[in-house]
Amino acid sequence: MLILFAALALLSGWAGDYVLELAFRVLVLMTLAEAWNLLAGYGGLVSLGTASFVGIGAYVLVGAMNRGLPLALAWAGAGLASAVLALLVSRAVFRLRGLYFTVGTLALAEALRLFMVNYQPLGGAIGLFLNPDAPGLRGLFLLALGLFAAATLLMQLATSSRYSILLRAVRDDEDAAAQMGVRPFRIKLLAFIVASVLMGLAGALQGLKLGAVEPYGMFGLQWTVSVLAIVIIGGQGQRLAAVIGALFVVALGELLANYPAVHLAITGLILILVIRFAPQGLAGLSTRVWRRVRGAVPT
């Protein structure tokens, strides 16, 4: 795994701009998808609030760098701000369960977006421009690669450890888990904070790359929706969901780049097909096919 990441980092020296551009996008989406998969797939917390954390991360990074902070500190600040936001809203959103949690997080994202549009000190609808110079494309790629590596490591820890058993127990039946001595609030909070920090860091990178942040882009619903599509196509609760889903969705987008309308329709169609015929996504589907090819009993 480590070797793979190192090889990618080395190879990026020879890659052209188009490849780097594309790879950066895939990596940011993969990180977001990993985070969302931790929440929804392993924790049962189907959140529509991805955009809140992407936006906070981006704004904090740009704001901090404009005040002269070095990139490293500004980036860390973006992660910290996301964690604080998650902590602040956790009491409120965890009171809601299931669908209500989903709606609650959506409301949070929309409320933040409207606030940013109307709040002049942060640039209102125009947003903020990044004054210091951003790193070059290869630098950005390496940052994104590092972030994704960290996300992978965290996910590995969170999904194979004893914590994952507790998290999945809470997902399957929160009340029964409490009867077993599991404290559901703490378990969910940890997942929520970890996911939010990852989302904030990814959002910050996106802001850094664009060199300008504005509410419609950074707090927009499209972040939430594309991440959701990636994980559902990849396979909720499957370890490889983020990677497979992001590669698939971005590849599809590139293939159909000249036909935006067709692209949307086809993505929608694929979502419906996956939900109907492969509820465990492409990751689950390929495991099933693989088992059948090897002649084992399908489960």
What Cα–Cα distance (Å) separates residue 241 from each residue in 18, 109, 233, 236, 298? Answer: 25, 24, 8, 7, 20
How far is 58 from 256, CA to CA, in rounded Å? 28
Residue among 120 and 179 whose Cβ is closer to other proteins? 179
How far is Cα of residue 259 from the mean position of the Cα atoms in its chain?
26
The tokens describing 252, both together, are 């599809």
Whether 71 contacts 65, CB under 8 Å: yes
CA angle 234, 85, 135 (to 5 degrees): 70
Task: Provide the binding-site residues for other proteins, judged by CB under 8 A.
Answer: 162, 165-166, 168-169, 171-173, 175-184, 237, 297
Residue among 44 and 207 whose Cβ is closer to other proteins? 44
Whether 262 contacts 276, CB under 8 Å: no
The tokens describing 143, both together, are 């940052």
How far is 5 from 3, CA to CA, in rounded Å? 5
Q: Look at residues 43, 21, 33, 215 and name the one whose alpha carbon lies nearest to residue 115.
A: 215
Whether 47 contacts 40, CB under 8 Å: yes
How far is 74 from 68, CA to CA, in rounded Å? 9
Beta bridge partner(s), residue 212: 129
Q: How far is the CB of 185 from other proteins (least distance, A)?
A: 9
Q: How far apart are the first and last CA of the chain?
A: 28
CA angle 59, 35, 244 (to 5 degrees): 120
User: What DSSP element (H or E) covers 129?
Assistant: strand 128-129
Beta bridge partner(s), residue 213: 128
